[in-house]
Amino acid sequence: MVSNLFLIFFNFFLLVSSQNCTFDMQSFTLRNFTLLGDSYLRNGVVGLTRELQVPSSSSGSLIYNNPISFLDQETKKMVSFSTRFAFSVYNINPSSYGDGLAFFLSPDNQTLGSPGGFLGLVNSSQLTKNKFVAVEFDTKQDLHFNDPDDNHVGLDIDSLISIKTANLMLAGVDLKSRNLISSWIDYKSDEKKLMVFLSYSSSKPKRPILIVDIDLSEYVKEFMYVGFAASTEGSTELHTIENWRFQTFGFSGVKPRSNRDPHNVSDNSVVVKPPIVQDSGHKHHRSLGLVFGIGGPVFFCVVLVAFGWISFKKWRGVNTEKYLKAELVTGPRQFSYRELRTATRGFHSSRIIGNGAFGTVYKAFFMDSNSIAAVKRSKHRHESKTEFGAELSIIACLRHKNLVQLQGWCIEKGELLLVYDFMPNGSLDKVLYQESEHGNPLKWPYRYNIAVGLASVLTYLHQECEQQVIHRDIKASNIMLDGSYNARLGDFGLARLMDHDKSPVSTLTAGTMGYLAPEYLQYGKATEKTDVFSYGVVILEVACGRRPIEGEGSGHEMVNLVDWVWRLYSEGRIIDAADKRLKEDFEEEEMIKLLLVGLSCANPDSAERPCMRRVFQILNNEAEPIFVPKLKPTLTFSTSIPLSIDDIFSDSEDELEIRVD
């Protein structure tokens, strides 16, 4: 009796395990999966790493509860599988990125690795403990694992040194773009081939970004768990999974079924078997009448709603275009979409020269004028009209030799595009760090000239414009370099216009960690002195060749640049802060002056920071340097409201808010 029951159970188990598995989760519930580490569920979306406003180290996993069969019992061969999921990588501080996420297959349901470059897959103290097959989506270059860059996809097997990788820029995808990204991973067992597709849209691309010829049967056991893992180290990067579909196929003897698979855990997977009835013409006609009686009005309502939605979108687009044209009638020229598409070869991936919070930047060749420009293309479409309007309304009316000049704009086909002067030498951070790694450090005369040029343009924005402009996001990646390595300040997506006699009020902090003034982090008040602080950090970068926040030592302890320079200054050896890659090929007096100006601008006490005009005069030897205390001042914040309620209301009524971030 017992043996018969065992045989029945065993045969039933083989039958179930030898069927294709399919599940489709458009939103997540705790019923279907397990969360490990720092992962969490919110409004049907899974976050894999901590959601904090300050840099942290974190790792988390999402694992489907049931093990999935990957072995056909009859043929003893591995079956094929396919998965599609939508994810996003969001960062409140674009310069504080890392490390990425991964989709994985694992023989156990306890896969949780260490933070940092280990992507939540591998334990840092037991590198060979966890077994897995994973596709990584890496947002940070980690030389320990032979990463080619900070925006790639790769196949990993039991190790984070990828078997093969692909640069995602070839597909026009930036993992750190904040966009919702769809990914498809297909493994064809008969062809022994794994393919990865990525797109910003929900439509699967025709060509995969990564193809790996590999027989996974050597690494995949009969039953495996599937899931996702992600990690950070000293960053504010967030990794979320919004939906997920997975299926296996290729089991022998599986007959086509009209009902859903018993493994399907979709909320719509309940199967109701219709009763068997005798054929009846009367019932048949009555059923048709019922279908048309109910379906007709429903179909009409759907068409009406769709028509209304399309009309609304068209109306909104037309009104936005009219508004922009009215605002810019005397400003930069309006380009046609066809013009920009032709100049960028259809926005081809080979023309990509950069990425930012707004979108992707392309190099454009205009044959009729024999000129080159940079075209910034929004990936957020309508969601980016705020940033788009900010850049247009501000840059269009500004003229300075150290500003990136806006040539024109375009708003067609739901696209938002800005056309700028092309900067041959790219951004300051690229020249300061990436090119220096190849033995070509930026020479000292250029560095000093960059500091002077940046001081000049900030003096113009703060004190010489009809309306004061507070940039709010001054950092090395937003400073472009022309053909002569002159600084050109760009990216006004966070900027604010205000009258000189108005108190700046900002209820939400925007900008990049490491460059933000302490009072701005505390109160959210954007003033010219917060720009001065960011400027101070940038010129310390220029002098020292170090990032604002950087790992140091074997433990990779995070070191703040301002604190590091101030400590050397207090010890009487500030010259030791100079970039070692320069090999002392600089004017010592100028180096010390630049370091001291940087510290004076990055003073925690905003009242002690100089204005940009004074900084410009000091660097041009037209004014005496400001006294810098040997010990870094400490700042105690008041718990009281920084401005009176009357001040806030009176100011906010008149203030022109370009962007609420």
Does position 68 have pLDDT exceeding 70, yes or no?
A: yes
428 membership: H or E segment, kind and range: helix 428-429
Local confidence band at 511 (pLDDT 50, 70, 90 cut-offs): low
pLDDT in tens, 306-335: 666 665 555 555 444 444 444 443 457 889
What's the whole-number mean pLDDT along residues 552-556?
A: 63
Closest by alpha carbon to 397, among 328, 449, 351, 470?
Answer: 328
CA distance linking residue 124 with residue 136, whole number of Å: 17
Any domain includes 44: yes
Any domain includes 298: no
Residues 105 and 71 in one domain: yes
pLDDT of residue 494: 57
Residues 62 and 143 in one domain: yes
Q: Which amino acid is at 120?
A: G
CA distance linking residue 403 with residue 421, whole number of Å: 10
Q: Pick the range with the lowest mean pLDDT from 122-126, 394-398, 525-529.
A: 394-398
Any domain includes 556: yes
| Residue 56, domain CATH | 2.60.120.200
Residues 32 and 100 in one domain: yes
CA distance linking residue 587 with residue 584, whole number of Å: 8
Any domain includes 313: no
pLDDT of residue 509: 44
For residues 645 and 31, which has the higher predicted lDDT (pLDDT)? 31
| Residue 346, domain CATH | 3.30.200.20
Q: Which of 202, 217, 249 is the last residue of a domain?
A: 249
pLDDT in tens, 81-109: 999 999 999 887 766 788 999 999 999 88
Residues 559 and 454 in one domain: yes
Q: Which of 376, 405, 422 is the last residue of a domain?
A: 422
Any domain includes 2: no
| Residue 588, domain CATH | 1.10.510.10
Residues 434 and 550 in one domain: yes
Closest by alpha carbon to 38, among 113, 91, 102, 133?
Answer: 113
Any domain includes 16: no
Query: Got the DSSP string for 544-597?
Result: H---SEEEETTTTEEEEHHHHHHHHHHTT-GGGGS-GGGTT-S-HHHHHHHHHH
pLDDT of residue 379: 57
Domain with 501 in it: 425-654
Is 142 catalytic? The answer is no
Residue 313 known to bind ligand: no
Residue 228 contacts residue 102 (beta carbons within 8 Å): yes
pLDDT of residue 224: 93
Q: Using DSSP bridges, classify how beta strands 406-412 and 333-334 pair: parallel, antiparallel or unpaired.
A: parallel
Count up the domains in the chain and report the number.
3
pLDDT in tens, 459-490: 999 988 877 888 888 999 889 998 889 999 98
Any domain includes 307: no
CA distance linking residue 402 with residue 471, whole number of Å: 14
Residues 29 and 41 in one domain: yes
Length of the chain: 661
pLDDT in tens, 434-459: 765 566 789 999 999 999 999 999 99
Locate tokens 């940009």: which residue? 612
Residues 109 and 209 in one domain: yes
Residue 248 contacts residue 72 (beta carbons within 8 Å): no
The reported pTM is 0.49
Local confidence band at 277 (pLDDT 50, 70, 90 cut-offs): very low
Any domain includes 130: yes
Q: Which of 422, 457, 485 is the last residue of a domain?
A: 422
Does position 505 have pLDDT exceeding 50, yes or no?
A: no
What's the whole-number mean pLDDT along residues 43-65?
A: 87
Other C-beta atoms closer than 10 Å to the C-beta of 609 total 24
Residues 225 and 337 in one domain: no
pLDDT of residue 14: 42
pLDDT of residue 573: 94
| Residue 219 three-state SS | coil
Residue 209 phi/psi, 5-degree rounding, is -85, -25
Residue 374 contacts residue 359 (beta carbons within 8 Å): no
Q: Which amino acid is at 562?
A: V
pLDDT in tens, 173-223: 889 888 899 999 999 999 999 999 999 988 999 999 999 999 999 999 989
Residues 548 and 410 in one domain: no
For residues 179 and 282, which has the higher predicted lDDT (pLDDT)? 179
Q: Pick the range with the lowest mean pLDDT from 20-29, 65-74, 214-223, 504-513.
A: 504-513
Local confidence band at 253 (pLDDT 50, 70, 90 cut-offs): low
Residues 487 and 348 in one domain: no
Q: Select which of 473, 491, 531, 579 is catalytic.
A: 473
pLDDT in tens, 361-400: 999 998 877 788 999 887 555 445 565 666 566 677 788 8
Residue 85 in tokens: 């999921």
Residues 630 and 617 in one domain: yes
Residues 416 and 447 in one domain: no
